[in-house]
């Protein structure tokens, strides 16, 4: 395939904005990047995709999400509104995940995948929970991802909040899926080992997870999203959360820690020393009223901080904008969270993290040899857009509704806003038909 008439935003380091250049896509990769006239002359018979003057850029990457949260939209929480994050878990997320059957797991994933394609998010790192439908839940999600054409990293959250058997089933699901993924090697799907959070994990279960995880596979866990995670860890072990995870061998360059809001200086150092990835989800943190992660400080320490949605709509530029604004108001200093910092998280760190799971070429950049995960953006600025000022055009001018085409591994998933792999209407209809049942099973727990 030859992509012509696009203005390329490459997300190279340094970034480049290229006009008059075309891309040859072959075997899922960017095979050639060069002057359009030359490439058109050299490849007269190759299929062409005309970007018609739109921006062509790498697809967005979401470093932490929960497909299973789809049925929370519009759901009424019975009784008084939850007053803090522990109550949000107890009144919203835990009864909701217990209400999911396997068909709801599938429907949740499908609506989230539609959302991702529509909004130009091409790689998603998911963290799944469905305590009453654990076994093969990751296969169910993987099948939906496979059909969608997107790229995803999957795991099941191990927790002791559903008893010993629930914890064991979670461990088994992770191990089974990781091994099957290693064996069959679907190229757009990868696996990691999920853990809920220190506050719902016993010492025995953490140890069992450490023993069960296959070599060179890391973990994906929520850390210090609220102070309660620290209180619980100190009470159980006398250690703060990050110290506790470090002692269990959970940290490291393959492990993803979501949030890290209430970590102290030594915990931040431990994250840096161990090369652990941290993900920042400012919309979720604001919604839950849990505080602001000191991600600029973490990055100054050398912690690779990424950006995720935590199950909010897969609109990564919304997350960029929220991060950009939140840290300014929190610090009462408009110089904080520079556009460059947002790009460090949302582009370069996200690409480096996701790239670990998908070898065979760099991810999140337009360069020969890179994975061909691309989006077209119908944006026509009234001021100059340059390689240097792209972050502020995105923060103040881009909207995900401007995404008109989504391509993953060289396959077009959406063209002119028309879905080519998924049937949006059928998926939405099916999900909506199942919603009353999910909400009924949710409400039955109160």
Contacts with Zn ion by CB under 5 A lie at 258, 310
Which C-beta is closer to Zn ion: that of 274 or that of 284?
Answer: 284
- The residue with its CB nearest to Zn ion is 310
108 DSSP β-pair partners: none
3-state secondary structure of 249: coil
CA distance 29 to 48: 16
C-beta of residue 375 within 8 angstroms of C-beta of residue 61 = no
* Minimum CB distance to Zn ion, residue 82 (Å): 16
* Minimum CB distance to Zn ion, residue 223 (Å): 10
Which C-beta is closer to Zn ion: that of 7 or that of 98?
Answer: 98
C-beta of residue 61 within 8 angstroms of C-beta of residue 54 = no
* Minimum CB distance to Zn ion, residue 144 (Å): 19
* Minimum CB distance to Zn ion, residue 89 (Å): 11
* Minimum CB distance to Zn ion, residue 304 (Å): 18
The verdict on whether omega for the bond into residue 14 sits within 30 degrees of 0, i.e. cis, is yes
* Minimum CB distance to Zn ion, residue 307 (Å): 13
Which C-beta is closer to Zn ion: that of 120 or that of 311?
Answer: 311
Which C-beta is closer to Zn ion: that of 220 or that of 393?
Answer: 220
CA distance 234 to 122: 39
Which C-beta is closer to Zn ion: that of 4 or that of 77?
Answer: 77
Which C-beta is closer to Zn ion: that of 39 or that of 141?
Answer: 141
Distance from chain centroid for Cα 354? 9
* Minimum CB distance to Zn ion, residue 279 (Å): 8
CA distance 331 to 334: 8
Torsional sign, CA 369, 375, 380, 383: negative
CA distance 374 to 145: 17
CA distance 138 to 153: 10
* Minimum CB distance to Zn ion, residue 308 (Å): 8
215-197-270 Cα angle (round to 5): 65
| DSSP output for 158-206 | E-STTHHHHHHHHHHHHHHHHHHHHHH--TTEEE-EEEEEGGG--HHHH
| DSSP output for 31-64 | EEEEEHHHHHHH-TTS-EEE-TT-EEEEPEEEEE
Which C-beta is closer to Zn ion: that of 258 or that of 375?
Answer: 258
Which C-beta is closer to Zn ion: that of 310 or that of 319?
Answer: 310
* Minimum CB distance to Zn ion, residue 285 (Å): 10
* Minimum CB distance to Zn ion, residue 328 (Å): 24
Which C-beta is closer to Zn ion: that of 226 or that of 393?
Answer: 226
For the chain, how far is it from start to end, CA to CA, in angstroms?
Answer: 55
Which C-beta is closer to Zn ion: that of 241 or that of 427?
Answer: 241
CA distance 89 to 97: 10
Q: Kindly give the pairing relationship between strand 7-9 and strand 55-58.
A: parallel
Q: Which two tokens stand for residue 3?
A: 């992509």
């Amino acid at each position: 395939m030859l992509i012509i008439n696009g203005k390329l935003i490459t997300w190279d380091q340094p970034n480049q904005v290229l006009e008059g250049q075309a891309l040859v896509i072959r075997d899922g990769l960017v095979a050639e990047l060069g002057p359009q006239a030359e490439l058109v002359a050299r490849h007269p018979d190759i299929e062409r995709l005309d970007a018609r003057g739109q921006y062509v850029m790498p697809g967005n990457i979401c470093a932490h999400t929960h497909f299973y949260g789809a049925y929370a939209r519009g759901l009424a929480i019975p009784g008084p509104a939850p007053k803090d994050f522990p109550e949000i878990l107890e009144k919203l997320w835990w009864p909701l995940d217990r209400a999911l059957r396997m068909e709801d797991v599938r429907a949740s994933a499908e609506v989230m995948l539609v959302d991702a394609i529509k909004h130009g998010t091409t790689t998603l790192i998911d963290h799944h929970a469905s305590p009453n439908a654990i076994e093969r839940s990751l296969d169910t999600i993987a099948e939906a991802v496979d059909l969608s054409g997107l790229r995803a990293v999957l795991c099941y959250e191990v927790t002791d909040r559903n008893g010993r058997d629930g914890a064991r089933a979670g461990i088994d699901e992770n191990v089974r899926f990781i091994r099957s993924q290693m064996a069959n090697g679907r190229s757009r799907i990868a696996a990691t080992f999920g853990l809920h959070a220190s506050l719902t994990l016993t010492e025995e279960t953490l140890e069992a997870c450490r023993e069960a995880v296959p070599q060179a596979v890391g973990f994906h866990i929520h850390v210090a999203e609220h102070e309660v995670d620290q209180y619980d860890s100190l009470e159980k072990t006398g250690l703060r959360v990050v110290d506790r995870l470090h002692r269990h061998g959970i940290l490291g360059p393959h492990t993803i820690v979501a949030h890290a809001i209430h970590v102290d200086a030594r915990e931040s150092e431990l994250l840096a020393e161990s090369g652990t990835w941290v993900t920042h989800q400012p919309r979720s943190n604001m919604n839950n009223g849990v505080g602001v992660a000191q991600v600029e400080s973490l990055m100054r320490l050398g912690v690779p901080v990424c950006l995720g949605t935590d199950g909010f709509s897969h609109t990564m530029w919304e997350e960029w904008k929220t991060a950009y604004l939140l840290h300014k108001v929190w610090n009462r200093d408009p110089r904080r969270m520079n556009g460059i910092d947002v790009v460090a998280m949302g582009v370069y760190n996200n690409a480096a993290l996701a790239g670990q799971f998908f070898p065979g070429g760099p991810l999140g950049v337009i360069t020969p040899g890179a994975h061909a995960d691309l989006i077209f953006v119908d944006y026509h600025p009234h001021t100059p857009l340059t390689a240097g000022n792209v972050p502020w055009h995105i923060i103040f001018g881009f909207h995900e509704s401007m995404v008109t085409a989504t391509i993953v591994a060289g396959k077009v998933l959406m063209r002119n806003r028309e879905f080519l792999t998924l049937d949006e209407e059928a998926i939405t209809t099916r999900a909506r038909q199942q919603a009353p049942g999910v909400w009924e099973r949710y409400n039955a727990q109160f």
